[in-house]
Amino acid sequence: MVARQEPGKNVNLHPIDRQRYNVHSSTTQNGLNSRSGRQSSEKPGKCLRRLVSGFFKQLHSLKIKLILPYVILTLFTAMTGTYVVTRLVSSSARERFMNQLYEASRVAADGVLRTERTHLADLRLMAYTSGVSDAILNQDEVALQNLLWPLVLNNAMEAVSVLDLDGMSLLTMAQDPNSGQTILYTGEDFSSVRIVQAVLQREQDELGDKFSGFIDTRAGTYLFSSAPVKDETGKLVGVLLVGTRGFSLVSELKQQILADLIFLDAEGKLLTTSFTEVEEGNESLQLTQEQMIEIEDNPITALEINQRQYLAAYTPLMVREELVGYKGIALCSEYLIDTEITSRNIFSIIFSAATIGVILIGFFLSRSIAAPILHLQSVARSIAEGDLEQRSGLQRKDEVGQLAAVVDLMTFRLRRRTAQAAKLYAETVERNEELNRINERLQSTQQQLIQSEKLAAVGQLTAGIVHDVKNPLAVIKGLAEEMEEDHTFNESGQKTLKTIRDSASRATRIVSDLLTFARQSTPTMQRQNIVDTVKTALRMTDYLTRKGRVQVQADLPEQQVLLEYDAQQIEQVLINLIQNAIQAMPDGGKLLLSVKPEGLHTRIIVQDNGVGIPAEYLRRIFDPFFTTKKEGEGTGLGLSVSYGIITKHGGSIDVESEPGQGTRFVITMPNGVQEGKNGREENSGS
């Protein structure tokens, strides 16, 4: 927490922060001193300007910057929402379209009923015309034509047919659909037509003995109304049919309802339509049984006629309260789609503009408020991660600027204290490293002393007994050889003498090794090429490696590596390590010898892929008389002697091993660094 300082007091700040603080303090103090003197002499105009200036200064406040843009955005969103809702409520084009469909369907149904009433009036007129019944009884076509033609002509009847009691046409007068002229023909069979059968069977419904329905004739499809013709005694003598051509009917209705019509029979097949470009019987205008079931719940169906989209409302076509088929009222829906597209475009433009406005406001908002806060957050995160050289770089008059100044002050103080802590930590680390180096040297020296004490103790013991043992062994061996030359002994005796001689020889070798171990002489140091010494050791053990089926791989540098060492002793060490490696690979394997100069030291590596050494034995392998070989295969002095030789050369020998994977011996020899005549250090191995 930063304490508040009074103006004029010394503040412990970074030079840049101190300069900013002094400027701000002096400005504030001068403002306080001069404000009281000006207040009494200010004029109204200056007072107004001061109020305006104060208002604009308030715009720098973080609250104003956060609230004002969102107030504007809220007002804009409210106005946009109001406009959209008003637009949706007031421009329901689809609802108007559907209402127009249903209204057209109602008007079409009324038009069909009016046509049917006209037919009934014409039927009554012709049925009660004097002489018609007699002409039917006499089947006098000329008389029927003379009696009915004036009526057909005056009442503009499109089709009239007179039938006998067998349902056969005595006379049919119908307009030719192509020429418009009236044609006359006879002999057409209407006996299977429902409205004819009902009259011939003397049926009557609630409305009377007249019936209506669509009939396909030679002249086309007509909406016919049927009525009985009776004589003076009331006896049925024939049937009269008055009809209106289907296309004429739908064309007239189309002019009334301003929509296209489709008439289907009760099975959904096309009867007639006002679409002049569609032939009758076109399957696109017909309904399947599934569609007829669906229109009971949803009478609106989409159609495509001549690549134009239509919506059709299908309703039952009732004439004299009897279902004669279905009528469909079709309106082109492209204008509805255009209206929806136009509305969608308008809404898209509105919301796009609103979105752009929101983006712009958000951009300026982030630039003025969010960006500095995010910058401060990034600076604070960097400071938390340890980068104390960060500075906010913000110079603002609002709360964000004050926060940035506090962050910079905090960073400066933290940087100063961290520098002090880092200095103390560096000193501590340096002292710890020095102590670690001293401790390592002490441990190394202690280990060398322990090993030297072991070697010295064994050497003293060996030196004391080796002479007393070696001479008797020589006598035993000599006597055994002398007696072996005497052929008086049998085969069993010869074997016994041979065993005595071999045992004495083995004991002599052990004693010789002990003597060599006890008499470890000071090495004769000469500057030599260690690569040549390694090659010599390989030549001397070539027979052993071939016999043991061991593949030798030498990784030796081409240039000379000059070291100061005793070549005979180093050869002894290498031969011992090579022999141990061969014995560790009873079934053959790979042996790697490499020489690697590394700075002030050179490393000689002897590595095999043999049986390895258990971890519990690694600490003891350099102890005298300790061996992991089988009884009779080693004395346990080879590695001890090697360790002593390397130690006297100022080097070290380390071992790494993993059972089943192999063993790796690393000999580290000093390069013999000397100070040249010019005062510089020279590496003798380079």
The angle at the Cα of 310, spanning 307 to 311, to the nearest 5 degrees, equals 155
Residue 203 is predicted with a pLDDT of 86
In this structure, are residues 577 and 544 in contact, taking their beta carbons and an 8 Å threshold? no
Per-residue confidence at 684, pLDDT binned at 50, 70, 90?
A: very low
Model confidence over 263-283: pLDDT tens digits?
Answer: 888 888 888 888 876 554 466
CA dist 500 and 397 (Å) reads 110
Mean pLDDT of 170-189: 82
Q: How far is CA 207 from its chain centroid? A: 76
pLDDT recorded at residue 294? 78
Residue with more model confidence, 10 or 585: 585
Is residue 582 classed as helix, strand or coil in its secondary structure?
helix
CATH 3.30.565.10 fits 522-674, yes or no: yes
Provide the pLDDT for residue 592: 93
Q: Which is higher by pLDDT, 357 or 681?
A: 357
State whether the Cα torsion 567-571-572-573 is positive or negative: positive
244 within 8 A of 158, measured Cβ to Cβ: yes
Give the C-alpha distances (Å, rounded to integers) separating 425 from 412, 421, 434, 489, 537: 20, 6, 14, 87, 52
pLDDT band at residue 160 under the 50/70/90 scheme = very high
Q: Is the pLDDT of residue 452 over 70?
A: no
Is 70 exceeded by the pLDDT of residue 208?
yes
162, β-bridge pairs: 171, 240
Provide the pLDDT for residue 158.
87
Name the burial class of residue 435, with classes exposed (0-12), middle (13-18) and buried (19+) by CB atoms within 10 angstroms of its CB. exposed
Please name which of 272, 328, 276 lies closest in space to residue 303, comparing C-alpha atoms.
Answer: 328
Q: Look at residues 98, 106, 170, 79 and name the one whose alpha carbon lies nearest to residue 132.
A: 170
| 547-561, 586-600, 635-649: the lowest-pLDDT one | 635-649
Residue 97 pLDDT > 90: no
Average pLDDT score, the chain: 76
665 half-sphere exposure, CB direction, 13 A CA radius: 25
Helix (H, G, I), strand (E, B) or coil at 656: strand
The answer to whether 405 and 399 are in contact (CB under 8 A) is no
Q: Is 549 left (phi over 0), alpha (psi -120 to 50) or beta?
A: left
Is the model's pLDDT at 682 over the cut of 90? no
For the chain, the structural domain boundaries read: 95-332, 522-674
Q: What is the pLDDT of residue 293?
A: 79
Complete DSSP assignment for 495-508: HHHHHHHHHHHHHH
556 falls in which pLDDT band (50, 70, 90)? Answer: very high
What's the token pair of residue 52? 């305006």
Residue 595: the pLDDT is: 93
Longest dimension (CA), the chain: 181
- Supply the CATH classification number for the domain 95-332: 3.30.450.20
Token pair of 616, please? 């519990």
Higher pLDDT, 44 or 577: 577
pLDDT score for 44 = 66
Pairing between β-strand 589-598 and β-strand 550-555 as defined by DSSP bridges: parallel
Q: State yes or no: pLDDT of 439 exceeds 90.
A: no
Helix (H) or strand (E) holding 238: strand 236-245
Instruction: Kindly report, residue by residue over 321-348, the tens digit of the pLDDT.
Output: 788 888 888 887 766 666 666 665 666 6
Does residue 129 contact residue 162 with C-beta atoms inside 8 Å?
no
CB burial string 188-209: b at 16+ within 10 A, e below: bebeebebbbbbbeeeeeeeee
- Evaluate the CA torsion angle 103, 104, 107, 108 in order and state its sign: negative
Q: Which helix (H) or strand (E) holds 124?
A: helix 93-127
C-alpha 176/C-alpha 183 separation (Å) is 6
- Is residue 26 predicted with pLDDT exceeding 50? no
Token pair recorded at residue 58: 């308030």
CA distance linking residue 605 with residue 555, whole number of Å: 10
pLDDT tier at 304, thresholds 50, 70, 90:
confident
Q: Are 635 and 625 in contact (CB under 8 A)?
A: yes
Question: What pTM did the predictor assign?
Answer: 0.41
DSSP-based three-state secondary structure for 303: strand
Contact yes or no for 327/214 (Cβ under 8 A): no
Return the closest-CA partner of residue 390 out of 373, 372, 404. Answer: 404
Whether 199 shows a pLDDT value over 80: the answer reads yes
